[in-house]
Amino acid sequence: MERCISPLCGENLKVYVVKERSGSPLSAVKGFLLASHFGPTVLVVTISFILASTQYSVTSSLRIAAAILAGQFFVGWSNDLIDYPLDLAASRKTKPLVAGLISPRALKRGIVLALIFAIVLSLLGPLGIRGTAVHGLGLLSATLYNTSLKKTIFSVIPFMISFGAMPWAIYISEGKSPTLWLCLGFVIFASAFHFLNVVKDLEWDLKQGINGLPQRLGRNKSIAIATVLGICGILLVVVKWSQLTK
C-alpha cells in the first residue's frame, strides 16, 4: 500500500511516497536494533547501569537500565523515522527503513510503545516521579535534536542536556544531588561523542541539508574538538578518582 511516510506530511516540503515492505521476523528484529543506533544505545544503557549501581541494588539498577533502554529505543527509532525521507532520497541502504528490514508503520508503533515503556518503567521503578521528570527532560531534549536542532549551530546542546540529565535522574530519586565533576564529565564526553559520531556520515549529512555544528566546522576541526574534549574528560575523571581514593 502506498502512503506518505514523512512525519512532516502536510507541510510545504517535498514528500516521498513509497510502498511499505515487510520481511521475516528475524529481519524485523535486526531492523529495529539497527534503527535504535544499537552501539550507542548499549553504551548509554551500560553507563546508566554502572552509575545506578553506585546508589541502588543490582535489581534496582537493572530496572533503571530498562527504563533508559526504552528511552533510547524511542530516541533512536524516532530519529530514523524523521530522517527516512532524506535517507530514501539519498538511497542510504544501510538504513533499515530504506533497506526494507522494517516498515515505517511498524517503526511508528514501536516508537509509541517505547515511549510508554520509558515513562511507565521510570515511574514504577526506583526513579520515581522526580527521576522520571528528569528522564523526561532528557528525552525531550533528544527529541528536539531529532526534529530540528541537529540542523543548527546548537546541535551539541541536546547532547549536553540529555546526558547531563542522567546523573540527576538517578541521584535525585534518592534525594541526593550528583557532584559537579560527575555532571561535567557526562557533558564533556557526550559533546565529544557528538563531534566524533557525525564524522562518519559528514558527507551524507551535508548532501541532505543537515548543517549542525560539526558539519559547519568540518571533519578535521570536529575530530580535533572531540579529541580535546575526550582528553579533558579523561583528565577530569583521573584527577577526581585519585582524590577520592586517597
Q: What is the DSSP string of 82-125?
A: HHHHHHHHTT-TTSHHHHTSS-HHHHHHHHHHHHHHHHHHHHHS
The pLDDT of residue 2 is 39
Question: What b/e sequence results for 162-196 when a residue is b if at least 16 CB atoms lie within 10 Å of its CB, and e otherwise?
Answer: bbbbbbbbbbbbeeeebeeebbbbbbbbbbbbbbb
Dist CA 104 CA 102 (whole Å): 7
Question: What b/e sequence results for 121-134 when a residue is b if at least 16 CB atoms lie within 10 Å of its CB, and e otherwise?
Answer: bbbebbbbeebbbb
pLDDT along the chain (246 residues), means of 10: 44 42 76 94 96 94 97 96 90 90 95 97 95 96 95 95 95 91 94 92 84 93 96 91 69
The pLDDT of residue 70 is 97
The pLDDT of residue 25 is 81
Cα–Cα distances in angstroms (integers) from residue 46 to residues 68, 188, 242, in the given order:
10, 18, 23
Look up residue 18 and give its three cell numbers.
Answer: 513509497
The CATH number fitting domain 22-244, selected from 1.25.40, 1.20.120, 1.10.3470, 1.10.600? 1.10.600
**77-130 per-position pLDDT tens digit:** 999 999 999 888 888 888 999 999 999 999 999 999 999 999 999 999 999 999
The pLDDT of residue 244 is 67
Return the amino acid letter for 161: I
HSE-CB at 182 with a 13 A cutoff on CA atoms is 16
The pLDDT of residue 246 is 62
Domain assignments of the chain as residue spans, ordered by start:
22-244
Q: Are 114 and 74 a contacting pair, CB within 8 Å?
A: yes
SS3 3: strand
Query: Is the pTM for the entire model greater than 0.95?
Result: no
The pLDDT of residue 6 is 45
Cα–Cα distances in angstroms (integers) from residue 230 to residues 57, 79, 133, 186, 233, in the given order:
30, 25, 29, 11, 5
**CA triple 111-116-97, angle to 5 deg:** 10
